[in-house]
Amino acid sequence: MQVVIVKNAEQAGQAVATLIAAQIYTKPDCVLGLATGSTPIPAYQTLIGMHKEGLLDFSKVKSYNLDEYVGISYEHECSYHRFMQDELFNHVNIKPENTHVPDGNAEDIPSTAAAYDAAIVAAGGIDLQLLGIGHNGHIGFNEPGSEFIYGCHKVELSQSTIEANTRFFDSEADVPRAAVTLGIGSIMNARQVVLVATGEGKAEAVRRSLEEDVSPMCQASILRTHPNAIFVLDEAAASKLSR
């Protein structure tokens, strides 16, 4: 477990983009596990800049996103399908058929979720999984609870997640109440995990993840048992760590 602390969110983005670029250089046909939310945006902007300068080729890269809301269309401006198009895919040369986001609108979510896990295995597993972290310690939409759920599954969002994500919608009432998320199994099976957290609002979740017992009440804490996990933090997100 490595913890990298940099000055601010912009530097955290550069550090994460460096790790992702190194992954693509060492294995051009790698499988990336990608994340949405505001935290990864600086990393995506850095990657787009590298691509535009001719430094980075996504033509063989495959990607599997962590999660998607249930009950909003892919075209909705807050859907994670749309987010990935707007923030990364439309600006680099990744092939559309190589990008994957869970289906939050499937009629039979359990079977499409199981097929999503199977597709990741068939692609050779995730080489590098990028993660943000929720204020409640969630990774993907794996919310605090009594257990770690290993497979891709539907989840009811916690009140704290609904409140945190209201900033992307017109009002709290518009935030979907459920999502489909990759489970802890596929995340832990990734060969490398890169969690990025920036800002003081994440400091307590980061402290609990790194300094309290591994527990499903703080889902990110399980990453301490991963053989190749890196937390990239800015100074504010690291501010509650005791060492």
* Interaction site with ligand PGA (CB under 6 A): 37-39, 132-134
Q: Give the separation between CA 131 and CA 173, rounded to whole angstroms.
A: 26
Q: Which one of the listed residues 51, 67, 127, 234 is annotated catalytic?
A: 67
**Three-class SS state of 229:** strand
Q: Could you tell me the smallest distance in angstroms from the CB atom of residue 157 to ligand PGA?
A: 10
Taking phi over 0 as left and psi of -120 to 50 as alpha, with beta for the rest, 66 belongs to: alpha
Q: Could you tell me the smallest distance in angstroms from the CB atom of residue 132 to ligand PGA?
A: 3
Nearer to ligand PGA, 60 or 216 (CB): 216
DSSP secondary structure code for residue 79 in this structure: S
Active site residue 143: yes
Q: Is 205 exposed, middle or buried (0-12, 13-18, 19+ CB in 10 A)?
A: buried
Residue nearest to ligand PGA (CB): 37
Q: Give the separation between CA 197 and CA 159, rounded to whole angstroms.
A: 20
Nearer to ligand PGA, 23 or 165 (CB): 165
Q: Give the separation between CA 119 and CA 117, rounded to whole angstroms.
A: 5
Nearer to ligand PGA, 66 or 113 (CB): 66
Active site residue 213: no
Q: Could you tell me the smallest distance in angstroms from the CB atom of residue 28 to ligand PGA?
A: 28
Q: Which one of the listed residues 138, 142, 226, 234 is annotated catalytic?
A: 138
Q: Could you tell me the smallest distance in angstroms from the CB atom of residue 130 to ligand PGA?
A: 10
- 141, 179 in Cβ contact below 8 A? yes
Beta-bridged to residue 232, according to DSSP, are 4, 196
Q: Could you tell me the smallest distance in angstroms from the CB atom of residue 134 to ligand PGA?
A: 4
Nearer to ligand PGA, 13 or 132 (CB): 132
| Cα–Cα separations (whole angstroms), residue 179 to 109, 115, 143, 185, 235 | 10, 16, 11, 17, 31
Q: Which one of the listed residues 136, 153, 165, 226 is annotated catalytic?
A: 136
Active site residue 117: no
Active site residue 138: yes
Nearer to ligand PGA, 108 or 163 (CB): 163
Q: Give the separation between CA 222 and CA 241, rounded to whole angstroms.
A: 17
**What residues are annotated to the active site?**
67, 136, 138, 143
